[in-house]
A = this chain, B = another copy of it.
Amino acid sequence: MAITDIATRTYNHGWRLDPIVRSLLDTDFYKLLMLQMIRRLYPDVRATFALINRSTAVRLADVIDEGELRAQLDHARGIRFTAKELIWLAGNSFYGRTQMFSPDFIAWLAEFRLPEYDLRKADGQYELRFAGPWTHTSMWEIPALAIVNELRSRAALKDRGRFALDVLYARAKAKLWGKVERLAALPDLAISDFGTRRRHGFLWQRWCVEALKEGLGDRLIGTSNVLMAMDNDLEAIGTNAHELPMVLAALAGTDAGIAAAPYRVLRDWRDLYGGNLLIALPDAFGTAAFLRGAPDWLADWTGFRPDSLPPIEAGEQIIRWWREKGRDPREKLLIFSDGMDVDSIEATYRHFHGCVRLSFGWGTNLTNDFRGCAPFPTTGLDPISLVCKVVDADGRPAVKLSDNPAKATGDPAEIARYLRIFGDAGRTEAAVTV
């Protein structure tokens, strides 16, 4: 009785590979905003990005086949922005602004392709590095993470029965919808998908985003994934990331230059973008140090995205700072996006609702929460703490301190130097699970 569509089936089985990255827009929106700035202001800087698996107990090189990893990375290198995608980038408005991307940047994107990669195995891990112009290596971050994470999911699901797989996804869908129902009870919620980098898989992220759209309506304010924003008529969400202060600090060289780097980023950003994009990421070298040294005009910005302290603690710290600067927090925006899930979203919402404008970026626990869903024993679906960070700029080591020492990256001697410059105030060790 079952109808098999032979053409589709033949087509599916004839793929050279089942691609993970299918478009250069399958990346986070902030990469494009940063890229435009990097190209305009720092076109000659060379930056190396490297994959870092903080979950060292998971031996990725034992789990993921090197041939498959190379095939996916090579496939991604073959992708170009399509005409449709470039027309959409040029013609769509982002954060209420038309022509966010300049015509010369769009023309440059038309020629863009991901640069070479260097892959080797060491101690059961993959050493995956991208060296070259910052304007190109930066764009590897999201596809590299998405590829490694999805290959790991696929390995965990290989050779499982058809119904076991059906039940796995059925349970994951039921679980996510339970979360949607809880979130739908928060009337003024504003939330967006931030789950591209650590997603279980492309198709699963797409299901999650479309489910949020149906289940949360206007409370879903968008997605960081540019492709999914385009395909689902959602807002593309995101501003900037740690790589900007990290590279600028690395390039500065002197202690004074390092100390000034976070604020130079803010000036660059304000001059280029302004408006609703004025969201500061305060924790690259510790939030306390950042706020202590911040210029008064930063209090005019729209808001902050705290990314490594516990959310309520981080929010209270920033609200105190706004009040010191004579600003009303109710006119300001806080964006929480560090390992959020429904419990912490609810608690944060209830704590701050009415005191400050709030928005949530929901990542790994949206697009990769399969805990309790597999009808077979496996740890291969537990998310791991995998990042792709800039490690040097023009040959100088790059450092991130973070508010959580477990999230710091860089050479230990350099970390020590940065700690001397920025201090250690307010930094709190916490387990990093995602």
Contacts and interface: CB of A to CB of B under 8 A. Distances in A.
B8 A210 contact: no
A67 B207 CA distance: 36
A214 interface: yes
Contact of A1 (B161, B166, B174, B227): B227
Copies in the complex: 2
Nearest to A375: B177
Interface in A138-162: 161-162
A22 B1 contact: yes
Contacts of A5: 5, 7-8
Nearest to A164: B214
Contacts of A162: 214
Contacts of A3: 8
A167 interface: yes
A171 B172 CA distance: 9
A77 interface: no
Nearest to A3: B8
A218 interface: no
A173 B177 contact: no
Interface of A: 1, 3, 5, 7-8, 22-23, 161-164, 166-167, 169-174, 177, 181, 206-207, 210-211, 214-215, 227, 231, 375
Given A1-B23, A164-B214, A181-B375, 15 more contacts: A1-B22, A1-B206, A1-B227, A1-B231, A5-B8, A7-B7, A8-B8, A166-B173, A167-B174, A167-B211, A169-B170, A170-B170, A170-B173, A170-B174, A171-B173
